[in-house]
Structure 1
Amino acid sequence: MSLPTAYLTSTKNTADILRAMQAAQAPDRFTIKFLEGLGYAGSNDRAMVNVLKALGMLNESGIPTRRYHEYLDQTRSEVVLAQAIREAYSDLFKVNKNANTMTSTDVRNKMKTLSEGAYTDRVLTQMAATFAALVKMADFNTTSLDEEQSLVGDSAEDEVALDTPERRAPGRGGNGRQAIGDLVYNINIHLPESRDPAVYDALFKSLREHLG
C-alpha cells in the first residue's frame, strides 16, 4: 500500500510553511529546530518534517533531496509538488487518476478502503485533510519535468523516424525511390534487348530529363 503514514493534525499552516521553505536557503538537515527558525514552533507543525519525508523532499535523516532543491524554484514549485504527491499517494491515483480533484470525503473513503481498516476515522480524516492541503499548493495541469524530458525524447525519435528517404520531400528518395511531395514512387525499369549502346544512352538521357 502506497499511502503515507505521515499526516498533519492541523493543516492551517501548511501553505505558509511551504512558502517559508521557498524563501529560505535549504538547510543541511531539515530539523524541528530549522522549522522553528522558519517561525513554526507549534507541536502541530512538527509533523511537517515527516510529511516532507513522505513526499520525497527529505531523506530519512532529514537531509534535503534533489526534489527539495527543485521545489525551491518558485517557477516550478507547484509542478514539483504535484509530482511528489502523485508518487506519495500513488495507490490513491491508481484508484482515480484525478484524485487531486476528489472531495475530502471521497479521499477519506478511498483511503479507508485502501488501508483496509488500519486507521481510525479520526486519523483518516486528518490524512485526507493533509492530502487536500498539499493539493491546493500543487499544479497538476502543467507538464512535470520528467514528463517534459520524456516528451522531448519521443519527439526526437519521431523526428528520426520521419527523416527517412521515403519521407524527404521534395527531391529524390533513396533506395531507388522518387519522392514528390508526400508521394513516393518505386520505379522499375525494364531495358530493351539491344546491342546498340546509343539506345541505352538515349533512354537514360530521357530519364534524367523527366525525373531530375
Structure 2
Amino acid sequence: MTAAAENPQTTDEGKRETSTEQAASPRKIPGNLPYISTPGTLKRVLEKLVEAQRPDKFTADFLANVLKMSGGGARSTIPMLKKMGFLSSEGVPTDLYGKFRTEAGQGAAALQGLRSAYAEIFKRSDYAHAADEAKIKDIIVEITGLKSNDAVAGLIRSTFNAIKSFVPQDIDVAKSTAGPDEREVPDRAPPPTPELDRLDTAPLRLAYNINIVLPETSDLNVLNAIFKSIKENLMR
C-alpha cells in the first residue's frame, strides 16, 4: 500500500493546493489583455513609486522594503509595469517611469503606459481612456470572447481603470502620443526664392545716363575741346 493510499487526506489537501495555485495564476485569454488579481495594489504601487527614489532595478525587495508593498499582489505589479513600458525586461526603470514621477509628465506617461498595455483596446477606440465603463466593458468582451459577468473580464477592466485614474480627462492626446519628429518645432526662416538665388549668382551690371548741356556757340574750337575732354575723362 502506498503512502497516498494510507493517507487519503494528504492527497486531497495536495489537490486543493494545486487547484488554488491554478486559480490564482492569470488565465490566458484572447487579446493578450493584462490584469492582476488585486488592481487596487497596482494603483498604490504607482502612487508610492512617485514618492520613492528611483531604483537601479525594480525588484520584489524594492517593493517590500522601500514601497512597503509585499505579497503576491504586489509582486504581480512588476510584470504589469513591464507591459506598460515603465520597466525594461530586466526590471530597469525606463524614461517613461521617470516621466511618470514628474508632476508635469505624469498624465502623459500614464496614458502612454495604458496604450502600451492595452493596445488592442485602443485599436478599437482612440479615446478609450475617456470612454465610459459600458463601452470599455463591451470592448473587453468583444476582444476576449468572455461573458460580461466573467470575473477575469472584471479584473481586466479594474486593472485598466487603476492606470486610467492617473490620466486627466482633458489631456491633449496628440501631444502626449506624438513622436519626436511630430512635436512642435521653432519657426525657421523660409528658403530663398529662385529670383533671389539668381540675383546672388548673376554678374553685376550698372548703366549711367549723362546729360551734357553745350554752350550756345558757333566756335568749333570750343565744341572740339568739350568733346575731347568728355572722351578723355568719361569714356575710358
Q: TM-score range by the shorter chain?
A: 0.5 to 0.7
Match of 1:111 in 2: 140
The alpha carbon displacement at 1:90 in A equals: 2.0
Match of 2:95 in 1: 66
Q: Secondary structure at the match of 2:86?
A: coil
Identity within the alignment, %:
20
The alpha carbon displacement at 1:145 in A equals: 7.4
The alpha carbon displacement at 1:63 in A equals: 2.1
Separation (CA, whole Å) in 1 of partners of 2:32 and 2:48: 23
Deviations 1:107-137 (A, max 9, x none): 1321222234599821111011111121111
Separation (CA, whole Å) in 1 of partners of 2:84 and 2:135: 21
Separation (CA, whole Å) in 1 of partners of 2:32 and 2:107: 20
Q: Secondary structure at the match of 1:97?
A: coil
8 A Cα contact 1:22 1:74, kept in partner: no
Separation (CA, whole Å) in 2 of partners of 1:139 and 1:3: 26
Match of 2:36 in 1: 8
Separation (CA, whole Å) in 2 of partners of 1:103 and 1:5: 18
Gapped regions of structure 1 (runs ≥ 5): 167-172, 178-199, 203-212
Separation (CA, whole Å) in 2 of partners of 1:176 and 1:22: 60
RMSD (Å), alpha carbons: 3.2
The alpha carbon displacement at 1:99 in A equals: 0.5
8 A Cα contact 2:110 2:167, kept in partner: yes
TM-score normalised by L of structure 2: 0.60
Separation (CA, whole Å) in 1 of partners of 2:30 and 2:126: 14
1:1-212 mapped onto 2 (5 Å cutoff): 4-37=32-65, 38-117=67-146, 121-139=150-168, 141-142=171-172, 143-144=175-176, 146-147=178-179, 150-153=182-185, 159=188, 162-165=190-193, 174=196, 201=208
The alpha carbon displacement at 1:67 in A equals: 1.9
Compared CA separation, residues 41 and 16, structure 1 to 2 (3 A): same
8 A Cα contact 1:108 1:127, kept in partner: no
Separation (CA, whole Å) in 1 of partners of 2:97 and 2:149: 31
Separation (CA, whole Å) in 2 of partners of 1:133 and 1:164: 53
Separation (CA, whole Å) in 1 of partners of 2:90 and 2:148: 26
Letter of the 1:105 partner, please give it. Answer: A
Separation (CA, whole Å) in 2 of partners of 1:2 and 1:139: 29
Letter of the 1:138 partner, please give it. Answer: V
Separation (CA, whole Å) in 2 of partners of 1:145 and 1:17: 24
Match of 1:186 in 2: none
Gapped regions of structure 2 (runs ≥ 5): 1-28, 200-206, 210-236
Deviations 1:30-87 (A, max 9, x none): 1222112212224333321121011011122222222222322232122112112123
- Specify the structure having the higher radius of gyration (Cα): 2
Separation (CA, whole Å) in 2 of partners of 1:13 and 1:82: 19
Compared CA separation, residues 115 and 47, structure 1 to 2 (3 A): same
Q: How many residues align?
A: 170
Q: Secondary structure at the match of 1:30?
A: coil
Q: Secondary structure at the match of 2:137?
A: helix
Q: Which has the higher strand share?
A: 1
8 A Cα contact 1:6 1:47, kept in partner: no
8 A Cα contact 1:82 1:135, kept in partner: yes
